[in-house]
Amino acid sequence: MTFEIQVDGIKYGERIPDRFTCKGENISPEIKWKDAPASSKELVLFLDDPDAPRGNFVHWVITGISPAAGSLHENVEKVQKTSEGWIQLKNDFGNFGYGGPCPPASQVHRYVFTLYALVSPLSESDRDDREKLRKLCEIRMVKKVTWIFPYGKK
């Protein structure tokens, strides 16, 4: 079995529909996974734009996800703690939750979903700082998977 991630309705490397971007409804797409490692206790999802003019731009960080859940539904509420108990950190737009792709005009950027399967759950203090959290995910991960898609105009 292989740990896999999928963005519902989008093939790997395929352009994301406008409805999930700042030009559309700006809602999160459904994210599905399968075969999370049996030893994983928590999943953490990052959405990054590594092509942003000032360096990596973080569009979404969501933690506290049960490996057994199998998916994050479309349009996750934009609050710090969701009704499902997921914890979202502020993105680089300064908001909790998902902030869709929004590259400068006439540019195409790559967007990367990274799903970490962690061997131990996070504490509240582990979520104090996004970059500290990312480093901790790299240390505590059993496995990670990525999903890359382009968005923008050339």
154 residues of the chain, pLDDT tens digit each: 799 999 987 888 899 999 999 999 999 999 999 999 999 999 999 999 999 999 999 999 999 999 999 999 999 999 999 999 999 999 999 999 999 999 988 899 999 999 999 999 999 999 989 999 999 999 999 999 999 999 997 6
- The CATH number of residue 133's host domain is 3.90.280.10
Report whether 33 contacts 7 (CB < 8 A): no
**What pTM does this model have?**
0.95
Count Cβ atoms within 10 A of the Cβ of residue 78 and give its class: 0-12 exposed, 13-18 middle, 19 or more buried: middle
Split into its structural domains, the chain has a count of 1
The boundaries of the domain holding residue 66 are: 4-152
Report whether 82 contacts 123 (CB < 8 A): no
